Chains A and B, each alone.
Chain A
Amino acid sequence: MKHVDCGCTRRQMIRSLVSGSLLLPGIISQLLAQEARHAANPLAPRAPHFPGKAKRVIFLFMTGGVSHMDSFDPKPRLIADAGKPRNGRGAKYLAPLWEFKPGGKCGTEVSDLFPHIRECMDDICLIRSMRGDHNDHFQATLGIHTGSVSVARPSIGSWVSYGLGTENQNLPSFVVLAPDLPYAGSQVWSADFLPAVHQGTRVFPGDEPIPDLKRRSPSEKIQELELGLLDRFNRKHRQSRPTDAQLAARIKTFETAFGMQKEMPEVLDLSKETDATLKLYGLERGSTKGFAWQCLIARRMAERGVRFIELIDVGSHSNWDAHGDMKTHEPLARNVDQPIAGLLKDLKSRGMLDDTLVVWTTEFGRTPTMDGTAGRGHFNPAFSSWLAGGGVKGGIVHGKTDEYAASIVENPVHVHDFHATILHLLGFDHERLTFRHGGRDFRLTDVAGNVVKAVLA
């Protein structure tokens, strides 16, 4: 998908069709006005480079750096060597706190931190060889979202929205469910240089899920009157400016906004979900707290055609950043484990897992050695992430770290490779999904990235 800066392709086509002026000016105006209506919606669904198996993405991001050797990457050697200094003189090895057990028919080992996810391992492609470019939260969080660890760039969700548009015009194409701001703040879901319409929209529980969604006019009737009068003013104004696409586009946004006002509360209304469904996610009826709520909302958004749904579990403090004590992983895992498993099972039973890609990741792993007295430090040379659904081979493990989970010994997957693979599953050649900015074609994967073919179904 090459971005055409002037936005005039279709215009030029009309122009070539009518060159020779067989068409009267009136018809030409009509054609141009029609073109203006097309330009009015940058979020119209679009086909990718080739048919992708995944039609949408649910991106689960765990803030702070989940320890891979305590969750998805078992290392018995760390138990055996606990307390010994690394390389004879470095910091001391710390034993993982949780027991590993095989899950599913595939028997992939997962720790007791994630007993529910463990049951779903047959649907999950676990990558134990992730690596990133930075060892600090802010930069690594930017990196896993934008491919850039220093300056802000468009988020992966914005790229997907830009590439595919969206199915439901009454909802944003890229939604973020994050109770608190993550590291690097809203840059994480920023469209940056991509058109702002591709920006992630943060949705909150409660009666105003997105800013200004709640009607402020004294009654619905009055708001309808206002929109009616507005339309009248705008159409009158447009009579003498019939070919301006911007004017048409802006008129349309008020219709969409009105639709959003109606549809968004409906997406968030869980009253029609069955007890069995709530139970699957571990959500108490009436509660809007925790990852269970986020996961169930994600499924409802996915059903209604939202293209990219990002769930961030916690904010930039009191998160997985367990410098002091690894035990702090436990409540964080409890918050997400059953809901994530519930989401996978729910999607599967509704036949949606086949074309919904579920991504689970964090910004980096943690050191095999101790930090403080019972915690672990940041570790970007190796960590674990996983993919499920949408064209991914389930029940496999890709990549391998050494016996201390300290370096990758097989099939390293850089963040750029991870991104290239996600885009591939959606039908994009990551080298061709570009946007011209400041004289250069930019892409999510910068100048790197290889699709990890081994994980494709």
Chain B
Amino acid sequence: MHLCAPTLKRLAAVLAAALCASGFIAAARAAAAPSREGVEFFEKQIRPLLAERCYECHGADSKKRKGGLRLDSREGVLAGGHSGPALVPGKPDSSLLIKAVRYSDDDLQMPPKHKLPDEAIAALEQWVNMGAPDPREGGAAANYGIDIAEARQFWSLRPVEDPPPPTVRNKRWAHNGIDRFILAKLEARNMAPAPDATKRTLLRRATFDLTGLPPTPEEMDAFLNDHSPNPFEKVVDRLLASPHYGERWGRHWLDVVRYADTSGCNSDFPVATAFRYRNYVIDSFNRDKPYDRFLREQIAGDLLPSSSDEERFEQIIATGYLAISRRFGSRANEFHLTIEDTLDNLGKSVLGLSLACARCHDHKFDPVPMRDYYALYGIFNSTRYAFPGTEIYRHAKDFIPLTSSERAEEVLKYQSDLAALDNEIEKLKEQRRALERANAGSGGADESDGSREKLATITAALDAAQSKQKELADNPPDVEKAYAVADGKTEDAKLHLRGDPRKPGETVPRGFLQVLGSKSLPSDESGSGRRQLAEWLTGADNPLTARVMVNRIWQHHFGRGIVRSSTDFGTRGDAPTHPELLDYLASRFVESGWSIKAMHKLIMLSHAYQMSSAEYAKHALADPNNDSFWRFNRRRLDAEEIRDAMLAVSGALDRTMGGAHPFPPENTWRYTQHKPFVAVYETDKRSIYLMQQRIKKHPFLEMFDGADTNATTGNRPVSTTPLQALFMMNDPFAHQQADRFAARIAAEFGDEAKQIDYACRLAFGRPATREEIQTGRAYLAECRDALSETDVPTDAQPRAALASFCRVLLSSNEFVFLD
């Protein structure tokens, strides 16, 4: 058992305290040296009972261990579980184990499904009365049975290695190290890589991959006509330098951090300033901010040094990552759920670990004990998140002013004054309700007990508070603010037994995960510990952070990660199909100074990236899931790509960066769970700039599998539904883009054949075939005929026919799939 010293000491202290408090040192000694008859009783009556009825959940098989309790060793019984020691030798009535089997407490009934027979309960009582003699040796109780040292042997938790690329037979195929890892596996299976993609396919693939947009016909021609030695490298450089790159890759990050423009509370309050974090993410990708720095800013940007106000503001905005954690309820009393959401997200997005399981019990599959969870919990519980308002406390507070510190104090005070009035108003309303209730039974307000007077006083105070609040709310200071965090009151957290904050357990010092070589914070640390957490997450001895990120970059190029479960690198996730390649990439990533753009270039210049998505029956049988990357994976465009490509092809795409959403003015917000905030704002800007809510997804994004705004999305599912087909057939947006598309090609060319050809170049990145031109012309003629029988005016019929043709192109598989 490898435990850091402070943990062991604490555990010993807790145990000693428990034993002393129960005044049972003597019995503990008795338990240490059980009498012969005690042993006999145990072996005859107790051991079989425990083995038959309890070990399944409280035994060595850690997969099922419940409540952190082991009953298969003496130490386990004495140490107890999350609720404390299982028994007090000699005192059945004070023993949790006995309470549980008696079923006397609604919350603690064991075994959970069927109460034990009375004889068995009596035997257990007698055993505890005897001092719980227990001859069993061995067994580990500390850390509730998770063996941290053993856990570190799991592939994802071992240090990153830098394996040299293997040698391969077909040396000419391998452009770089990546290819040698891929090819070595293929050669071992006697498989050959798929042939190269055509230049057209490759440019379309790379342009969507890096910018989420289709290549223009001009870009296509330039690439086809570039006969220099490295045309594709030039393309990659050009695309990486495009401002649209950040809009594409920033969106991948926003998926993972479940970005939304609303809070998620019962009334789904808008967060008018959340967009600054969205734009920060886009800018960071465009500037190729080193990933380790990107993470540190998001977790502790407010605590990092800065050399200018601009830099300081940017770092504050970065902590929007924490602020956008989900909000709950109608009041402000379910903040523990928000912290749980932060931890869940941090675990999945940065570490690839599902920490949330350790909220209620030691993680069943991964080496995350409950105390590690609450060590991290303390850090965020010591952090003050900006509060966006809820139904009952509807005024925002703790938004960070982006201004000089003097003025900032003023603005913070303004917010807290406004919010304090919410508290006062709520209190007065409660008093009034209580008074009304009291009066209701006794036939109305009564002069004699002065309740009418009291009611008048309360009403007057309420009026005053409300008008004061209105006055304040109508005159907000003109200062830009960020949805961000700051350090709050520093405090270690207590365990929440079974995840229930109303059942506090022992206090856990703030710290990090043991399995990643955690340290606790220094005991005199006065800050939340976010700065140290950020350092620890990006530190050299944390193997997960780099692995998880390179895997994610790979995933968005190849359609799947080397580890398919890109937010789960734990034992329940998928194993890497190419573990050495993953480590090779992680090493290059760190070596490059965590440059994401360098990683794109490395990956995209590999031969593996440039294969076609050809279908070989033979390979498809040997490796149907393409585990060995024998070809490129064809993929459907995602929601944003479909919408943006439709706008781009129609010529209507507004390529400027998005700003704030047109929310109603803040002093008019009266959202309740009965009438929550619900809105859809139209725009011709890119889809990343669409307003995204938590209570109700944006209808288009929901239809085409957009990211979940409530929980991390590592892999977007791809669904194919009739509602999507109806969208293409009948939605006003689809028709509008087809009309614009038709206008665009008609403005360019008068000749029908040329129009058809240009349409194909725009939509598919290739010229029309001769057959398509024939088919297209026949179609346009037939369509015009049909239109002559409709109420479409005669002079509008040719354009309407062309729009109909364009609608078909935009609906086609070739348009929405990427080879």
Contact = CB atoms under 8 A, between A and B. Distances in A.
A237 interface: yes
B720 A253 contact: yes
Interface centre among B337, B436, B636, B724 (most CB of A within 10 A): B724
Contacts of A18: 621
A456 interface: no
A251 B813 contact: yes
B305 interface: no
B717 A196 contact: yes
Interface residues of A, number: 90
A290 to B, nearest CB: 20
Contacts of B564: 5
A109 interface: no
Given A151-B711, A372-B436, A196 B705 contact: yes
Contact of B786 (A192, A216, A222): A222
A371 B732 CA distance: 48
B729 interface: yes
B735 interface: yes
Given A229-B775, A241-B634, A92 B786 contact: no
Contact of A439 (B573, B711, B732, B808): B573
A247 interface: yes
B811 A230 contact: yes
Interface string B784-816: 001101111000000010001101110111101
A439 B814 contact: no
Interface string B658-680: 00000000000000011110100
Nearest to A150: B337
B107 interface: no
A8 B613 CA distance: 18
B807 A226 contact: yes
A260 B266 CA distance: 34
Given A32-B617, A237-B814, A246-B817, A212 B568 contact: no
A135 to B, nearest CB: 11
Interface centre among B572, B727, B812 (most CB of A within 10 A): B812
Given A217-B804, A373-B440, A243 B675 contact: no
B567 interface: yes
Contacts of B705: 196
Contacts of B570: 439
B348 interface: yes
A247 B699 contact: no
Nearest to A229: B808
A440 interface: yes
Nearest to A245: B720
Contact of B721 (A196, A238, A244, A247): A196
B729 A254 contact: yes
Contacts of A438: 348, 354, 565, 567-568, 714
B725 interface: yes
Interface in A1-38: 5-6, 8, 11-12, 14-15, 18, 25-26, 28-29, 32
Nearest to A260: B722
A376 to B, nearest CB: 12
B790 A253 contact: no
B328 interface: yes
B67 to A, nearest CB: 13
A212 B731 contact: yes
B673 A136 contact: yes
Contacts of B617: 25-26, 28-29, 32, 243
A195 B726 CA distance: 18
A8 B717 contact: no
Contact of A212 (B678, B714, B723, B786): B723
Interface in B537-589: 564-565, 567-568, 570, 572-573
Contact of A15 (B621, B696, B718, B816): B621
Given A28-B621, A222-B786, A212 B615 contact: no
Nearest to A201: B723
Contact of B725 (A136, A240, A257): A257
Given A225-B782, A242-B615, A181 B730 contact: no
Interface string B731-767: 1100100000000000000000000000000000000
Given A92-B437, A92-B440, A229 B779 contact: yes
Contacts of A374: 440
A438 B625 CA distance: 20
Interface centre among B268, B699, B721 (most CB of A within 10 A): B721
Interface in B594-636: 613, 615, 617-618, 620-621, 624-625, 634, 636
Nearest to A317: B674
Interface of A: 5-6, 8, 11-12, 14-15, 18, 25-26, 28-29, 32, 40, 83, 85, 91-92, 136-139, 150-152, 172, 181, 183-187, 192-193, 195-197, 199, 201, 210-219, 221-223, 225-227, 229-230, 232-234, 237-238, 240-244, 246-247, 249-251, 253-254, 256-258, 260-261, 316-317, 321, 370-374, 438-440
29 contacts: A5-B564, A29-B615, A29-B617, A85-B441, A92-B441, A137-B673, A137-B674, A172-B722, A183-B674, A196-B703, A197-B720, A212-B723, A212-B731, A217-B729, A221-B786, A222-B787, A226-B811, A229-B779, A241-B613, A246-B817, A250-B725, A250-B816, A253-B720, A256-B725, A258-B729, A316-B675, A321-B674, A371-B437, A439-B573
Interface of B: 266, 268, 326, 328-330, 337, 341, 348, 354, 357, 365, 433, 436-437, 440-441, 564-565, 567-568, 570, 572-573, 613, 615, 617-618, 620-621, 624-625, 634, 636, 673-676, 678, 695-697, 699, 702-703, 705, 708, 710-711, 714, 717-732, 735, 775, 779, 782-783, 786-787, 789-792, 800, 804-805, 807-809, 811-814, 816-817
**What are the 7 closest A-B residue pairs judged by CB atoms, nearest first?**
A257-B725, A196-B719, A439-B572, A317-B674, A439-B568, A138-B266, A256-B722
Given A181-B676, A254-B811, A260-B722, 19 more contacts: A11-B624, A29-B615, A136-B329, A138-B330, A139-B329, A151-B326, A152-B711, A184-B266, A217-B729, A219-B787, A225-B779, A225-B783, A226-B729, A241-B613, A243-B620, A244-B615, A261-B729, A316-B673, A372-B436
